[in-house]
Structure 1
Amino acid sequence: MSSGNADTIFVLVGASGDLSKKKIWPTLCNLKRDFLPSNSKFVGYARSKLTIEEIKAGVKPHYKMKTAEDEEAFDSFFSNSTYMSGKYDEVSSFVKLSEHLKSIGGGRDINYVFYLAVPPSVFDAVTSNIKLCCMAPKGFTRIVVEKPFGHDLESSDILSKHLASLFTEQQLYRIDHYLGKEMAQNMLVLRFGNQMFGPIWNNQSIKAVKLTFKEAIGTKGRGGYFDPSGIIRDVMQNHMTQLLCLVAMEKPPSLEADDIRAEKVKVLKRVQPIVMEDVVLGQYVGDKTKPEDSEAYQGYLDDPTVPKGSTTPTFATAVLHIKNDRWEGVPFIIKAGKGLNERKAEIRLQFKDAQGDIFSQKCQRNELVFRVQPNEAVYAKLMTKTPGMEFKLEETELDLTLTERFQGHKFPDAYERLLWDVYCGNQSSFVRSDELKEAWRIFTPLLKEIDSRKPTPVEYIFGSRGPQESDELERKYDLKYSGTYSYVKQNKSQL
């Protein structure tokens, strides 16, 4: 890390909130322990009248401490941290914050990073007051923006114009933590560093692409936050669209941030707006065979924080179409939901049937699967002969499970990787304004139709795979799921 980063103060705005306690404070603690200089400074700012010791106590249950060294690192981190209480819409509060930053900077040239973990209602005021009062006098000032980046195309454009009036694009880091996950980071290498994939990564070989995001939990009392958004705004327009870009984009001329992000914009421009005929919406209901005190027993509408009679989807499957030479005719099926049978995020490329069949239709389609979470892996499903005298076919895999192949390596948390990139000034894994605009262009017509018509979502039982209508939509686009294969981990002691 350059010497300039040794003089960087990280300011967490919204420091007492849920995201800050569970994610950002613990991430900063890990960064300081493993990467940042020992004299790095951290400042929390929020409306709550708290002390840094009270902030520390709130963070401690969410910080993984296995050893005495971990506890020592945690204590050391907060000894270099301070907290200020102030209003978000009051200039005088930010004047005091600026004076505090200058005082702990020791009169040296100093850089500022502001992480905005604040609700949309105060975003304009916070960013305006930072620009007015808290810009670094000589060093850099960087602004990390947490989603939601608007509610639709119009609100997103208003937000982008507001930010552009205050800061340059080089100062803005719109964070989507999925871009910090190990497999997302690996996609550029897997795609463009291996010649074997190049000739088959197109509509000549690939039948369909499926991107899946599944959660085994429901809203858990957070329905008040989730309900205004729904699963499409919460997951599909951002996380899953970013993964789609990594699959569908062309090779960038370099690994420079603007080169990578320009290719994402190019492919997004070729994605057609989603139509309702290509969508299935669902909402989970309770599994009444489960104990009454279990989460599975409660449906979405049973959550007291969810408005009565809400038609907000907790599940959606949508088909996207990319109109370019590489992907014309290949459906990109994105599926996301809460209250499903497992926690999983993956990218699945299903290849066309082998031509000139000589095996009496016993072969299943090949698939290349990128497991994003949990247990990051890349595996290829292929047909092979079962050992023995009988000529019997079986579906199996070529497997690269990263935690097994790279034992002893640290797998950083997504936020940890991305905040390190902020310190280093690397914007390649952050969302640019034109990229954001194109993503909203694709989803806004669908969202407006859902918001105005309020279609009743299909019910599915908590803990199931989701609505059968989703499977029917996939079959409509000839995505085949045989159900004959399960991914079995190898026992290394037998190798």
Structure 2
Amino acid sequence: MGASGDLAKRKIMPSLSKVVEKDTEVYAYARSSMDTTYAIKLREFYDYTDDFPERVKYFKGEYNDLSSLKDIIDKDTFMDHYLLKPLMICLYGMKNKLSKIFDKMSNQNIKSVECFFIESILAEGRAYFDQNGIIKDVMQNHLIEVVASLLYDETYIFGQYKTYCEEMNRKSETETFAAFKCTVNNKTWKNTPFIMVAGKGLSRKATEIIFNIKTDNEEIQLAVKENANAGGDYEEIFSSLITNSFLPAISFKEAKELWRLFDKTLVCNKTPLIYYPIGTEMLEEAKNIIKKD
């Protein structure tokens, strides 16, 4: 899905080419008219050593009508590469190896949980990002899958790096930074705040989960962090799918529920935006949300 997009051409298709066998059928679906030029476009973005681009079968269509794929799709599973990022693989392994610690993780022992997805790169003038912003780009899929919970929220912070409108060559109120606090509605985590932060144009690239452990007189944190240079999650997800090995995924029903939860955030008033210079470590307003818990 979205096969004509930058992500598919730069990362997904090259990753697929490394793991699929010659007799594996690959279908590409998008709204753009690229039926006869798709293979040419793929080769513009990656140096393929075989005929993989020519083997990809391209379908043009709208996303509100997938009838042209009715004979192809037989499962409603959504695979997000984020669930197989090195950070998440590490977390799955830690839960097994450090089970005594993770068994104690609940509202009885954890003061709060912080999830970060921050980048130093900018929006790079992408029209898609300007139409959707950081919440839809990262939070409603990647970060919320990390939290993987039912939530409600009242505390939002929205920001935009100062040169964003100049980069887009137009006035825009699209957020490039968002932070909010949510509460998980289950027995284990009830009343434990989960703080989610995502942003572009910051001082570093990081994906982190931080557990703030309750103690009487000192601060203790368990931090799970991803190596900034780690990669390979696209190859991992396709390899896992083909070999029928460990593959964390969500169903269409779950994906739909995640989108529903974020609908209120997507349409809420995001002004006034907090404008921050490129290279900022963290917005002070976001730090205040974290400090309160």
TM-score interval, normalised by the smaller of the two chains? 0.7 to 0.9
Aligned-partner Cα distance in 1 for 2:25–2:144: 35
In angstroms, what is the RMSD of aligned CA positions?
A: 2.8
Q: Per-residue deviation at 1:212? A: 0.5
**In the alignment, which of 183, 188, 208 is matched to residue 321 of structure 1?**
183
Deviations 1:219-254 (A, max 9, x none): 1111x2112211111111110011112xxxxxxxxx
Aligned-partner Cα distance in 2 for 1:25–1:50: 17
Identity of aligned residues (%): 28
**Paired amino acid for 1:229:** N
Deviations 1:42-62 (A, max 9, x none): 5667623645763453133xx
**Paired amino acid for 1:182:** P
Note if contact 1:284-1:339 (Cα within 8 Å) is conserved in structure 2.
yes
Deviations 1:84-139 (A, max 9, x none): 677x25xxxxxxxxxxxxxxxxxxxxxxxxxxxxxxxx2234x21122xxx2xxxx
Aligned-partner Cα distance in 2 for 1:416–1:228: 29
Which residue does the alignment assign to 2:63?
Answer: 123
What runs of 5+ residues in structure 1 fail to find an aligned partner? 1-12, 64-73, 90-121, 136-140, 143-166, 246-267, 286-298, 358-362, 377-411, 478-495
Deviations 1:158-185 (A, max 9, x none): xxxxxxxxx5xxx123232201212213
Which residue does the alignment assign to 2:225?
Answer: 371
Aligned-partner Cα distance in 1 for 2:220–2:160: 32
Which residue does the alignment assign to 2:275?
Answer: 459
Which residue does the alignment assign to 1:421?
Answer: 240
| Structure 2 counterparts to residues 82-93 of structure 1, below 5 A | 82=55, 88-89=60-61
Aligned-partner Cα distance in 2 for 1:190–1:370: 9
Are positions 1:180 and 2:180 aligned together?
Answer: no
Are positions 1:274 and 2:90 aligned together?
Answer: no
Q: Per-residue deviation at 1:206? A: 1.4
Note if contact 2:237-2:247 (Cα within 8 Å) is conserved in structure 1.
no
Q: Per-residue deviation at 1:336? A: 0.7
Aligned-partner Cα distance in 1 for 2:176–2:38: 37
Q: Per-residue deviation at 1:281? A: 1.0
**In the alignment, which of 181, 197, 200 is matched to residue 335 of structure 1?**
197
Which residue does the alignment assign to 1:27?
Answer: 15
Aligned-partner Cα distance in 1 for 2:9–2:96: 38
**Paired amino acid for 1:239:** H
Which residue does the alignment assign to 1:473?
Answer: 289
Give the direction of change, closer, same or farther, for the CA distance of 1:317–1:47 in structure 2 (3 Å limit). Answer: same
Note if contact 1:43-1:82 (Cα within 8 Å) is conserved in structure 2.
no
Q: Name the SS for the 1:196 alignment partner.
A: helix
Note if contact 1:281-1:458 (Cα within 8 Å) is conserved in structure 2.
yes
Are positions 1:443 and 2:277 aligned together?
Answer: no
Are positions 1:303 and 2:167 aligned together?
Answer: yes
Q: Which has the higher contact order (CA 8 A, sep 6+)?
A: 2
What runs of 5+ residues in structure 2 fail to find an aligned partner? none
**In the alignment, which of 54, 57, 67 is matched to residue 81 of structure 1?**
54
Note if contact 2:76-2:252 (Cα within 8 Å) is conserved in structure 1.
no
Note if contact 1:210-1:332 (Cα within 8 Å) is conserved in structure 2.
yes
Are positions 1:200 and 2:104 aligned together?
Answer: yes
Are positions 1:189 and 2:88 aligned together?
Answer: no
Aligned-partner Cα distance in 1 for 2:142–2:240: 18
**In the alignment, which of 284, 290, 293 is matched to residue 161 of structure 2?**
284
Q: Name the SS for the 2:55 alignment partner.
A: strand
Which residue does the alignment assign to 1:244?
Answer: 147
Answer with 44-53 or 333-342: which moved more: 44-53
Q: Name the SS for the 2:131 alignment partner.
A: coil
Note if contact 1:206-1:330 (Cα within 8 Å) is conserved in structure 2.
yes
Aligned-partner Cα distance in 2 for 1:28–1:39: 13
**Paired amino acid for 2:233:** A
Note if contact 1:274-1:445 (Cα within 8 Å) is conserved in structure 2.
no
**Paired amino acid for 1:329:** N
Aligned-partner Cα distance in 1 for 2:38–2:156: 48
Q: Name the SS for the 1:423 alignment partner.
A: helix
Aligned-partner Cα distance in 1 for 2:176–2:86: 26
Q: Name the SS for the 1:303 alignment partner.
A: helix
Q: Per-residue deviation at 1:466? A: 3.3
Are positions 1:433 and 2:291 aligned together?
Answer: no
**In the alignment, which of 205, 210, 213 is matched to residue 351 of structure 1?**
213
Please report the TM-score for the alignment, with normalisation by the length of structure 2. 0.86
| Rg larger in structure | 1
Deviations 1:275-300 (A, max 9, x none): 1xx11111111xxxxxxxxxxxxx11
Which residue does the alignment assign to 1:48?
Answer: 34
